[in-house]
Each structure stands twice: as C-alpha cells, then as structure tokens.
Chains A and B, each alone.
Chain A
Amino acid sequence: MRRLEYVATTAAQGFWRNPVMSLASTFTIGLMLLLFAFFLATDRGLQAAVNVLESKVELALFLEDGARVSDVLDLRARIEADPAVSRVDYITKEQAMARLVDIAAKRPDIQIVDTSENPLQASLEVKLARAQDAPRVTAALREEIGKGVVSDVVDNPQVVDKLLTITRVLSFGGLAVLAMMLIVALFVIVNTIRIAVHARRDEIEIMKLVGATDWFVRWPFILEGMLVGALGAVAATAVVLVAAGPVMSAMVNFIEILPLSFGQTFVWQLVGSVFALALAVGGGGAMLSVRAHLAK
C-alpha cells in the first residue's frame, strides 16, 4: 500500500513539477484522442449505413410478356443457387400494377387515369446478401437478356458504391491521420517524461545506489505518462459527449440516408477505447523514455 502511495505521489509531483509541458502533452494527446473518437464514431455510422443499404440492394429482372412460366422458375432456381443472393421474389404483372396503384395513392404528383390495360412487366426481384457482389451478379444476369425470358436488368448500385468509397477513403485516410497523430503524441509524451526524468536524475541515481529495482524507478514515470493520457482522455470524452448531439443531428440532416443513432453500449465502447488508447500511449511513451535513461 505504501509502495502504491509512493508511486502515485511521485507521479503526481512529477506532473505538476513542469505544468506547462504536462498540459501541452495533455492537450496533444487529447486532440489525438478526439480524432480517434470521431474516427470511431464515423466509421461505426458508415458501417451501419452500409449494412442498412446492403439489406436493401435489389436487382430487378423484367420478364418478357411471353416468357414461359417453367423457364422463369428455372431461371429463379439458378439465381437462388448463387451464394451472393439472399432472396428472389417473383412479381406478377398484376402485383406490379397493384404496387403502382398503391404508390400513386400516397403521392399527389402521380395519378393513374386508366387501369384497364396493364403495361407493366412481370419481374424477378433479387435481393443480395452483400453490396460488393452487385456488379458481378448484375453482369451475369445481363447475359440472360434476349434469350426469351429476361427483357431488361435494372440495378441501383450507385448509392452503395458511393458509400463504400466514402467508407474506404475514411478508413484509410482516418487511419493515416490517426497514425500521424499517434506519433506526434508519443513524441510529446516521450519528451515530457524525459524532462521529468532529467529533473529527478539525482533521485534516480540514489534509488539505484540503495538497491531500488528498475521497475520501482520506472513506475512513477509510467504512471505520470498514464496520468497525462488519462487527463487527455477526460478532455476528449467531454468534448465528444457535449458535441455528439449537435454534430450528429447536423450529419443526419446533411446526409439524409445515414441512420445515425448510437446506442448506450457504443458510447461506453467509445469511452473505453479512448481511455485504453490514452493509457497505452501515455504509459508506453513514458516507458520508452525512462528505459532509455536507465540503459545509460
């Protein structure tokens, strides 16, 4: 207990002995963590959006009016055999018309004046399990056009493509920026602790002389680094929690398709990840610094 008290007191003293440097590194690590939190939240939001859209990805195969039912069923069975396909629905001409009537009833800008003739085609609606497979499946199905069953294939992959591109760019770009921030934060921490080590070099010399273990010498500095990290994490978390609401509603308004609402679990995961990274960077940086000194 006394040992813990000694380590904790020494770490706190170290932090306040050089407040400017300690607060500068707290600020830097806080910024890095804020970026990390933003990156995590955005990534999670986009992943959720991609999942929602993926569940909606559909291809429509419009069928020739004269196509034989047996041929249609055979085609359906072949499509269903593809592992990328999750479901195939057969929509008759009548069902298509019923849908159109239904949609028209809800929208004042569409009016159907004559329903005595049905110009709509029967179709097969193909639901895909993963958006990435859409181009391949579409290409395969387009080859069926002109063989007497399929008249046209309609897909709507643009939205998904865009979203996947955004996710990819954000993932790589975010990781690159995060990596740079991580290096900067480590550099600042290492220097802060180096100054702390220098300020206490006489104490360290005596500690080693009287038989303190390397770990006993290291722990106060590691704890000091973790303290810097933890304070940065507190600042970053506070900013995230305060700003999360307004930023999210702005994003939902801006990108209407994103269903951005995070559960309580995600918030805790986010806070946990931010603190874990903060302690790892703070403690790790301090360890690098003090190890270099002890190795002299």
Chain B
Amino acid sequence: MVALLGRGNQLITLDDVSKRYPNGTDALRDVDLEIDSGDFVFLVGSSGAGKSSLIRLLIREELPSSGRVWVDGQDVVRMKHSAVPKLRRRVGVVFQDFKLLPRKTVAENVGFALLVTGHSGEEAREETERALALVGLSQRRAHFPDQLSGGEKQRTAIARALVSRPKILIADEPTGNLDPVTSWEIIKLLVRVNELGTTLLMATHNAEIVNALRRRVVHLDHGMVVRDEREGQYAA
C-alpha cells in the first residue's frame, strides 16, 4: 500500500493513464485527471469515448496499460489483489442496468452489500434503513425489483452503493434507462448525496442535465481528455 503524501485534497488521481485492450483498441490515451474530495464531476463523451473504461480502472476491474491511478490515497495499480475488496467498499458504483437481485426485496438488496462484507445483521438493518430513508424508499422496503418503477430501481441501486458510506459514488449512465422526469429525480438525489459530503463522478451523455447543473465537466473523446471545465457545458 502506497500512501499518498502531500497530494492535498485529491481523492482520485490519474497520472498519464493509457488503456489498450488486447484487440488493439485504445480506450484511454495519456489521461491526466484529478478529482478533489467533495467534487461533483460529469464525465461526458459519446459511446466508446472511454468513460466506462476509466470507471473500471477506478474500481480495479481492469488495470491500465501504463500510468498510475490513485483512489483515496491508494495506488490502485500496485495494490495487492487482497486489498481490492477494501477499495471497493470505499467506492460505491451505480450502473445504467441497476444490477439488482430479482429474488431479494429492496431492503435485502441494499443490506446485501453489508452482509457480504462481514457486517452484523443488526448493523445491516440500521444502515439499510438510513440509506432507504435517504433515497426515499422506506415505504418500498419489502417490494421486489419487478414491483418497482425504473426510478425506484435506480434509487435502490443508489441506496446499495451508499449503504457502506463510501467516500466516492460513481454513477455510470444512471439515467440511461429512465424517462426525463425520472432522470431529474435521480439527478436531484445525486446532488443531495454530493451535498452531504460524498464525492460524485457521473458518466453521462445527457447534455440537458449536464448543462443545467453547471458542474465540473470532463470531456473524453477517443480516449483523451479534450476539455476539463469548472462550470462546464456539454454539446453532445
């Protein structure tokens, strides 16, 4: 484990990162990126621009071909395989397809994240209630995923990502499967989560949302960062 000293307030750092897949595709090219604690960052770009590849590097689902990646003070590239679970407990992830377990209720889906990381049943119940209250799903705790709307499914996924109190929440196209009204509900929820102190990185190509919120925008194109603006706009 390499502790990062003197790196200030940065929670995520990518240093000259490139990723080339075995089939020769260059997903990321010489990416330098720093995200401070408490930031809300949109990662934008068309399909295949490298957004998902970048996210996979942050949770160490993949390793870069070159360059270094630090998350919450840890060298993600050089960390031992046994340290990966602890990294993932500090980084919550939400996907476009929700990834809920159909045979578990809303509360079980959320509590699952704690039970499988060694927390007691009591702890899991308490934290699940807190997370469900935060996303506004306390009344739906006993429902199964197929009884929920798309927005409720995504809120369940967000509650599961937040239940272990991560420092960072990564949302990969969280509104991709949702209608515009529901999308805005999810975005409002993510803004609230960010205001409560969780750093947020959201990959999207929804220009309307990006342009309305006026947050930091990192634009990827063909694996390269082509724009990084504090209060950015996105012309998709």
Q: Given A202-B99, A206-B99, A206-B101 in contact, is the A3-B118 Cβ separation under 8 Å?
A: yes
Bound-state Cα–Cα, A203 to B88, Å: 16
Bound-state Cα–Cα, A216 to B115, Å: 10
Q: Given A202-B99, A209-B99 in contact, is the A6-B88 Cβ separation under 8 Å?
A: no
Q: Which residue of B lies closest to A204 (CB)?
A: B116
Q: Given A2-B120, A211-B164, A216-B118 in contact, is the A206-B85 Cβ separation under 8 Å?
A: no
Partner of B59, one of A2, A209, A217: A209
Partner of A210, one of B82, B116, B120, B121: B116
Q: Please give the number of chain B residues whose Cβ is less than 8 angstroms from any Cβ of chain A in the complex.
A: 23
Determine if B93 and A209 form an interchain contact, defined as CB atoms under 8 angstroms apart. yes
Specify which of A1, A206, A216 lies most central, judged by the most chain B CB atoms within 10 Å of its CB. Answer: A206
Q: Does residue B71 face the partner (Cβ distance < 8 Å to A)? A: no
Chain B residues numbered 92-128 whose CB sits less than 8 Å from any CB in chain A: 93, 99, 101, 112-113, 115-121, 124
Bound-state Cα–Cα, A184 to B59, Å: 40
Bound-state Cα–Cα, A1 to B118, Å: 10
Partner of A211, one of B86, B99, B101, B124: B86
Determine if A209 and B88 form an interchain contact, defined as CB atoms under 8 angstroms apart. yes
Q: Does residue B33 face the partner (Cβ distance < 8 Å to A)? A: no
Min C-beta distance of B26 to chain A, whole Å = 24
Measured between beta carbons, the chain A residues less than 8 angstroms from B101 are 202-203, 206
Measured between beta carbons, the chain A residues less than 8 angstroms from B121 are 2, 5
Measured between beta carbons, the chain B residues less than 8 angstroms from A212 are 85, 116-117
Determine if B89 and A210 form an interchain contact, defined as CB atoms under 8 angstroms apart. yes
Interface of B is mostly: helix
Chain B residues numbered 51-107 whose CB sits less than 8 Å from any CB in chain A: 59, 82, 85-89, 93, 99, 101
Determine if B87 and A211 form an interchain contact, defined as CB atoms under 8 angstroms apart. yes
Measured between beta carbons, the chain B residues less than 8 angstroms from A176 are none
Bound-state Cα–Cα, A209 to B115, Å: 13
Bound-state Cα–Cα, A203 to B117, Å: 13
Q: Does residue A207 face the partner (Cβ distance < 8 Å to B)? A: yes
Q: Given A206-B99, A206-B101 in contact, is the A211-B120 Cβ separation under 8 Å?
A: no
Chain B residues numbered 3-29 whose CB sits less than 8 Å from any CB in chain A: none
Q: Does residue A205 face the partner (Cβ distance < 8 Å to B)? A: yes
Q: Does residue B160 face the partner (Cβ distance < 8 Å to A)? A: yes
Min C-beta distance of B61 to chain A, whole Å = 8
Bound-state Cα–Cα, A212 to B87, Å: 10
Q: Does residue A253 face the partner (Cβ distance < 8 Å to B)? A: no
Q: Mark A199-235, 1 if CB is under 8 A from B, else 0.
A: 0001101111111111011000000000000000000
Q: Which residue of B lies closest to A217 (CB)?
A: B116
Determine if B116 and A6 form an interchain contact, defined as CB atoms under 8 angstroms apart. yes
Measured between beta carbons, the chain B residues less than 8 angstroms from A203 are 101
Specify which of A202, A203, A211, A214 lies most central, judged by the most chain B CB atoms within 10 Å of its CB. Answer: A211
Q: Given A212-B117, A216-B118 in contact, is the A206-B86 Cβ separation under 8 Å?
A: no
Partner of B112, one of A1, A206, A213: A206
Bound-state Cα–Cα, A96 to B47, Å: 106
Partner of B113, one of A1, A2, A202, A210: A210
Determine if B85 and A205 form an interchain contact, defined as CB atoms under 8 angstroms apart. no
Measured between beta carbons, the chain A residues less than 8 angstroms from B82 are 213
Measured between beta carbons, the chain A residues less than 8 angstroms from B161 are 210
Min C-beta distance of A207 to chain B, whole Å = 5
Q: Which residue of B lies closest to A3 (CB)?
A: B118
Bound-state Cα–Cα, A203 to B87, Å: 19
Partner of B88, one of A2, A5, A211, A216: A211
Bound-state Cα–Cα, A82 to B101, Å: 77
- By a beta-carbon cutoff of 8 Å, the part of chain A in contact with chain B is 1-3, 5-6, 202-203, 205-214, 216-217
Which 5 A-B residue pairings sit nearest by Cβ, starting from the closest? A211-B89, A211-B88, A210-B113, A212-B116, A211-B85
A–B pairs, 16, beta carbons within 8 Å: A2-B119, A2-B120, A3-B118, A5-B121, A6-B116, A203-B101, A209-B59, A209-B93, A210-B88, A210-B113, A211-B88, A211-B117, A211-B164, A213-B82, A213-B85, A217-B116
Q: A209-B59, A209-B88, A210-B88 are in contact. List 10 more A-B contacts (CB 8 A).
A: A1-B120, A2-B121, A205-B99, A206-B113, A207-B112, A211-B85, A211-B88, A211-B89, A213-B82, A213-B117
